[in-house]
Amino acid sequence: MQLELGNILVKDVQWGSRSEIRKGVVYVNRQELLDTLKDDRLARIDIDIVRPGDAVRICPVKDVLEPRVKVEGKGQVFPGFFGNAEMVGSGKTNVLKGMTVLTVGKIVGFQEGIIDMSGSGAEYTPFSRTINLVLLCDQADGLPQHEHEEAVRMAGLKATRYISQLAANVTPDESVTFATKPLAQQMAEFSGLPKVAYVYMLQTQGLMHDTYLYGLDVKKILPTFLYPTEVMDGAVISGNCVSACDKNTTYHHMNNPVIADLLARHGQDLNFIGVVATNENVTLLDKERSSNFTAKLVESLGVEGVIISEEGFGNPDADLIMNCRKIEALGIKTILITDEYAGRDGASQSLADGNPLANAVVSGGNANAVIELPPMPKVIGYIDAVEIIAGGFDGALKKDGSITVEIQAITGATNELGFNRMGALEF
Amino acid sequence: MDSRQVLIITNNPMVKNTNNAEICFVIGDCGQVLYQVFNQVAMGRRLLSHPLAGSIKFEDNPYRSVVLSKPETDVDLSTLAMLEKCLEKVEAGVRERTAAKGGLAFARDFQMIDKELLDEAMQALGERQV
């Protein structure tokens, strides 16, 4: 399966009398976009444009998406939500690089997700460096939380699709091609290079904790095989809006750096066989079943090593360790990517589970680390949630608008795909 | 599975009267719920749902519901070891409690999320024999 991503480098996003892209500037007819998003479940949708360096705080962020559109090949971006769930990941896809569609919605009171476009907090989130089209979505009176979540999720998908279609006939500024072959052919390639797969754990525990694959709720799947490029066409989308620092937004999925880096080294110093998508369930039997199937699938791929990325924390730590333990027992090396809840001093136990076989672990950072965020003149959303959200605490929001929080409140701060801005300089 | 064959240990008022299952209602925090779970596993019950929530901090979320099987004849020592690790995490978190007042202010939302997780577990368990 071969996919060419054509990046259109976005210089700015502005309101315009008609929606179009000219000389790298995305012009949006605000009313036309609002009409596209009309949904009786949402009492109000407000749209704003924010840019890197703006004195703006956005909270609570639900999802972040990147506009992409198929220009050649089968299917549509976000398959299963649009179209008939045709297989994606081949042909050509245009990408509006440097901008996002970002949804804000207060679905439950303790919901988290801060993005500061400037100041100290901006250093912890990748979305302070993108131009963001922000959708603030308030629910209609009496709307159940399930439906509010779905309405905001669909608003994000529809707005992203609307913007992306403007890029269908634009010549990209740069393009890059990714390719992997069907299993038997891929196994035969690159003799002498180690064969590697990627185990992609997805948060799937119910309301506010869900992820979708080709439109299907991932808690209902058995672990399954994906070509790496399917993910780049929006095969995986996020319905997960808890734990801002280590949830994977849809943008993270589309730009998964584990997949990107494995493909960059594909044929150079490893043979990237493919992706095993799996879930993180609630019952222990479901966890056992999924990890058993994951290990079986990895074994059947004939690989010598896997990278496993977790999403979230708490009971998913058990899934991470089960996957590690069962794959290592087959003689296949594992490298885990997670983050830590090691207390504010970083001295406590980092994960809720562990095993001596988990001896190669990459950390996205300590989510309990505390940061001071300066006051911001403009807030999009509901900042009163800061004292409630994970990582906020009593007295966190001061009268001058400054905030003391753990970095777990910041969207993407300790991302477990490695899509974050922190790293160790020495250890 | 017949839901009457399981025990739910909970401190969530929204769960207290909503299931046919046997309910052990704990007046206390999540740590107290886990101590009761530990006691019941030590008496031979099997853990059916994971004792920790997913992606919600133990010390911030005031409510937790855990599902156990009917008593077996032997004790599952590996589960007791896992519960010890979970209790260690919860106790470490309590020392750095953050959103105590916030948690209470949004009690219904926390209760609803805990009940959602429990319902997911009960639905999954209902589709099988134990």
Q: Give the closest-approach CA distance of A373 to chain B in angstroms.
A: 17
CA A3, chain centre distance (Å): 20
Residue B127 pLDDT > 80? no
Half-sphere exposure of A335 (CA within 13 A, CB side): 13
Instruction: Quote the CA–CA distance of A286 and A48 in Å, as a whole number.
Output: 42
pLDDT reported for residue B130: 46
Query: Scanning the structure block, which residue is given the tokens 């896992």?
Result: B82
Quickly list DSSP for A138-174.
Answer: EEPTT--HHHHHHHHHHHHHHHHHHHHHTTTTSPPSE
**Side-by-side strand order, sheet with A25-28:** A12-15, A25-28, A20-22
Token representation of residue A153? 């999720």
What is the complex's ipTM, to 2 decimals? 0.88
Look up A241 and say whether it is catalytic.
Answer: yes
Q: Directed axis angle between helix A145-165 and helix A30-37, to 10°?
A: 140
R_g of chain B, CA atoms, integer Å: 14
Instruction: Quote the CA–CA distance of A317 and A354 in Å, as a whole number.
Output: 8
Beta bridge partners of A85: none
**Subunit contact A314:B54, Cβ cutoff 8 A:** yes
B110, closest residue in chain A (CA to CA): A110
| Minimum-distance CB partner of B121 among A283, A353, A368 | A283
**How many CB pairs below 8 Å do chains A and B form together?**
145
**Subunit contact A349:B88, Cβ cutoff 8 A:** yes
Instruction: Quote the CA–CA distance of A357 and A196 in Å, as a whole number.
Output: 18
Contacts of B55 in chain A (CB under 8 A): 203, 205, 209, 240, 242-243, 246-247, 312-314, 316
- At A161-182, the pLDDT tens digits run 999 999 999 999 999 999 999 9
**Side-by-side strand order, sheet with A361-366:** A224-226, A271-280, A195-203, A305-309, A333-340, A361-366
Cα distances (Å, whole numbers) of residue A408 to A59, A310, A404: 13, 16, 12
**What DSSP designation does A391 have?**
T
Q: Which of B51, B63, B125, B113 is nearest to A205 (CA)?
A: B113
pLDDT reported for residue A396: 77
β-pairing, A25-28 vs A12-15, is parallel
Instruction: Quote the CA–CA distance of A215 and A201 in Å, as a whole number.
Output: 17
- Average of pLDDT values for B18-35? 89
Q: Which class for A113: exposed (0-12), middle (13-18), buried (19 or more C-beta within 10 A)? A: buried
Q: Which of A258, A259, A298, A252 is nearest to A278 (CA)?
A: A298
Q: Give the closest-approach CA distance of B78 to chain A in angstroms.
A: 12
Instruction: Quote the CA–CA distance of A20 and A205 in Å, as a whole number.
Output: 39
Cβ neighbors of A323 (< 8 A, separation 6 or more) are A199, A201, A278, A291, A294, A295, A308, A334
**Subunit contact B85:A354, Cβ cutoff 8 A:** yes
**Subunit contact B57:A390, Cβ cutoff 8 A:** yes
Confidence category of residue B20, pLDDT binned at 50, 70, 90: confident
Q: Give the closest-approach CA distance of A355 to chain B in angstroms.
A: 11
pLDDT reported for residue A295: 98
Q: Where are the beta strands (DSSP E) in A257-324?
A: 271-280, 305-309
Regions in chain A scoring below 50 on pLDDT: none
CB-based contact, B105 to chain A, within 8 Å: yes
Instruction: Quote the CA–CA distance of A353 and A69 in Å, as a whole number.
Output: 41
Half-sphere exposure of A301 (CA within 13 A, CB side): 31
**Subunit contact B86:A390, Cβ cutoff 8 A:** no
Q: Single out the catalytic residue among A59, A137, A241, A324.
A: A241
| Minimum-distance CB partner of B86 among A240, A352, A393 | A352
Cβ neighbors of A398 (< 8 A, separation 6 or more) are A404
Give me the count of residues in chain B: 130
Residue B100 pLDDT > 70? no
Q: Which of A426, A191, A240 is nearest to B56 (CA)?
A: A240
Contacts of A247 in chain B (CB under 8 A): 55
Contacts of A364 in chain B (CB under 8 A): none
Instruction: Quote the CA–CA distance of A264 and A196 in Å, as a whole number.
Output: 13
Give the amino acid at B4: R
Tell me which residues of chain B, numbers 7 to 66, contact chain A at a CB-CB cutoff of 8 Å.
47-58, 60
A394, closest residue in chain B (CA to CA): B99
Angle formed at CA B82 by CA B78 and CA B85, multiple of 5 degrees:
145
Reply yes or no: is the peptide bond before residue A52 cis, omega within 30 of 0.
no
Interface test with A, best of B47, B90, B98 (most A CBs within 10 A): B98
Confidence category of residue B19, pLDDT binned at 50, 70, 90: low
| Minimum-distance CB partner of A203 among B49, B50, B54 | B54
pLDDT reported for residue A179: 94
pLDDT reported for residue A293: 98
